[in-house]
């Protein structure tokens, strides 16, 4: 079969592992554009020209993990650490609400300061103050009991990228005690507890191959998540991966298209990392099949400190600037930002 035939097949059924591998090894620019056309048609069919926005609040830069790729890893002595107070988090929501955000994403490192009780208190306050908004958590691996408490307190969605579906590759990216099996167990718990759940991975992470990418696409098919977050790997100067190459733009765009074709209604962001490796990265991401953008709502004071990778964009802009910047960018390609929770279609 040819790449175009595999792309056609993907629209009706998943590919075999070998087929994904050959597609990812053999595709040409023409095939990529073919996938992009198909992905965009599927996206427009389900979502029209509407792009959902999520207000991202990076509320702690402390992390107990030591992932080799991430600037917030605990061994990075140069990382500037901060925690927002409850009041500061609620201020971000107030500002975001006024700007039309109806989803807030609380993202942070794995910070033990934010105990179950502290998280539950923050979740309750946000959901009490903004009952018409969705609340997404992105705070890594916790116990199933914690996840249940967060859900009970009113959190609606949870993002936990799986990072890679291949256990050996997972080990290249993360020292112990992290493991792929625990990561997948967490994702399964989150789904069972009724969270709209997101997984995802970095494109071009050290050790990634067409084989591991094939496994990523198969895992995504199996988990069938409501959200998938992918963006290019970007080296951070103060990590062990400082001299590794940045993930490719075209490969990221191709994978966005394949995920849209395979997962149809999935909520798929054009990420900040994509906007960082190319000035038009997020626009290109939307045109390749993404339907979500996540402007930064964190206080400008702390933005540079939440440094996952080098040269991150939007660290000097106020939330209002970020939102209007994105609005203009989306309008420039014929799309509009909408004020809506933007849930996964029931
Ligand atoms: N480059 C790109 N993405 C990164 N992330 C962490 N470090 C990097 C990096 N150097 C991503 C991971 C994580 C998400 C919050 O940010 O995939 O899950
Ligand atoms: Fe943040 Fe453009 S989206 S400044």
Q: What is the pLDDT of residues 302-315, one digit of tens each?
A: 999 999 999 999 99
Say how many Å lie between the CA of residue 235 and the centre of ligand 1: 9
Give the number of the atom of ligand 2 that is nearest the alpha carbon of residue 329. Answer: 2
| Nearest atom within ligand 2 for CA of residue 317 | 4
Which is the closest atom of ligand 1 to the Cα of 200?
17
Distance in Å, CA 343 to ligand 2 centroid: 23
CB of 281 closer than 6 angstroms to any ligand 2 atom? no
Cα(36) to centroid(ligand 2), Å: 24
Rounded alpha-carbon distances, angstroms, from residue 23 to 4, 50, 211: 9, 30, 11
Which ligand 1 atom minimizes the distance to the CA of 309?
A: 10
Ligand 2 atom at minimum distance from 296 CA: 1
Residue 155 Cα to ligand 2 midpoint, Å, equals 27
Q: Whose CA is nearest to atom 4 of ligand 2?
A: 322
Q: What's the angle, vertex CA 287, arms to CA 263 and CA 106, rounded to 5?
A: 65
Cβ of 15 closer than 6 Å to ligand 2, yes or no, is no
Q: Are 301 and 252 in contact (CB under 8 A)?
A: no
Binding site membership of 317 for ligand 2 (Cβ less than 6 Å)? yes
As given in the structure block, the two tokens for residue 199 are 């997984």
Q: Is the CB of 326 under 6 A from ligand 2?
A: yes
100-114: b (≥16 Cβ within 10 Å) or e: ebbbbbbbbbbbeeb
Q: Which residue's CA lies nearest to atom 7 of ligand 1?
A: 70
- Dihedral in degrees, nearest 10, Cα atoms 143, 147, 148, 154: 160
Q: Is the CB of 302 under 6 A from ligand 2?
A: no
| 203 Cβ closer than 6 Å to some ligand 2 atom | no
Nearest CA to ligand 1 atom 18: 161
pLDDT tens series, the chain, 346 aa = 999 999 999 999 999 999 999 999 999 999 999 999 999 999 999 999 999 999 999 999 999 999 999 999 999 999 999 999 999 999 999 999 999 999 999 999 999 999 999 999 999 999 999 999 999 999 999 999 999 999 999 999 999 999 999 999 999 999 999 999 999 999 999 999 999 999 999 999 999 999 999 999 999 999 999 999 999 999 999 999 999 999 999 999 999 999 999 999 999 999 999 999 999 999 999 999 999 999 999 999 999 999 999 999 999 999 999 999 999 999 999 999 998 999 998 7
Give the position, in ligand 2's atom list, of the atom nearest the Cα of 293. Answer: 3
Determine contact, residues 196/151, Cβ cutoff 8 Å.
Answer: no
> Which ligand is in closest contact with the Cα of 110?
1
Q: What is the 3-state secondary structure (H, E, C) of the chain?
A: CCHHHHHHHHHHCCCCHHHHHHHHHHCCHHHHHHHHHHHHHHHHHHHCCEEEECEEEEEECCCCCCCCCCCCCCCCCCCCCCECCHHHHHHHHHHHHHCCCCEEEEEECCCCCCCHHHHHHHHHHHHHHCCCCEEEEECCCCCHHHHHHHHHCCCCEEECCCECCCHHHHHHHCCCCCCHHHHHHHHHHHHHCCCEEEEEEEECCCCCCHHHHHHHHHHHHHHCCCEEEEEECCCCCCCCCCCCCCCCHHHHHHHHHHHHHHHCCCECECCHHHHHHCCCHHHHHHHCCCCEECCECCCHHHHCCCCCCCCCCCCCCCHHHHHHHHHHHHHCCCCEEECCCCCCCC
- Predicted structure pTM score: 0.98
Closest ligand 1 atom to Cα of 159: 18
Q: Which residues line ligand 1 (CB under 6 A)?
A: 69-70, 161, 163, 202, 231, 233-234, 236, 273, 308-309
Per-residue model confidence as pLDDT tens digits over 232-281: 999 999 999 999 999 999 999 999 999 999 999 999 999 999 999 999 99
For ligand 2, atom 3, the nearest C-alpha belongs to 322
């Amino acid at each position: 079969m040819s790449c175009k035939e595999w792309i056609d097949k993907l629209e009706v059924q998943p590919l075999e592992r070998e087929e994904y591998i050959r597609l990812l090894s053999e595709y040409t620019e023409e095939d990529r554009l073919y996938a992009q056309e198909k992905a965009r048609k599927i996206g427009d069919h389900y979502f029209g020209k509407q792009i959902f926005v999520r207000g991202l609040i990076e509320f702690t830069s402390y992390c107990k993990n030591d992932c080799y790729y991430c600037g917030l890893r605990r061994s990075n002595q140069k990382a500037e650490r901060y925690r927002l107070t409850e009041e500061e988090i609620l201020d971000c929501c107030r500002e975001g609400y006024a700007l039309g955000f109806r989803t807030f994403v609380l993202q942070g490192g794995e910070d033990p300061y934010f105990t179950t009780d502290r998280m539950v208190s923050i979740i309750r306050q946000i959901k009490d103050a903004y009952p018409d908004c969705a609340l997404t958590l992105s705070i890594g691996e916790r116990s199933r009991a914690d996840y249940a408490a967060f859900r009970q307190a009113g959190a609606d969605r949870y993002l936990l990228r799986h990072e890679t579906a291949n256990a050996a590759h997972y080990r290249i990216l993360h020292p112990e005690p992290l493991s792929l099996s625990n990561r997948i167990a967490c994702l399964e718990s989150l789904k069972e507890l009724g969270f709209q759940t997101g997984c995802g991975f970095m494109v071009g992470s050290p050790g990634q191959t067409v084989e591991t990418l094939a496994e990523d696409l198969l895992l995504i098919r199996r988990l069938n998540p409501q959200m998938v977050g992918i963006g290019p790997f970007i080296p951070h100067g103060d990590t062990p991966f400082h001299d590794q190459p940045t993930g490719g733009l075209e490969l990221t765009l191709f994978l966005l298209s394949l995920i849209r074709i395979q997962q149809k209604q999935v909520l798929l962001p054009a990420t900040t990392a994509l906007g960082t490796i190319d000035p038009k990265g997020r626009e290109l991401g939307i045109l390749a099949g993404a339907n979500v953008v996540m402007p930064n709502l964190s206080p400008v004071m702390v933005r540079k400190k939440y440094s996952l990778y080098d040269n991150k964009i939007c660290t000097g802009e106020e939330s209002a600037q970020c939102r209007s910047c994105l609005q203009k960018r989306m309008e420039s390609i014929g799309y509009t930002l909408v004020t809506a929770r933007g849930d996964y279609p029931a």
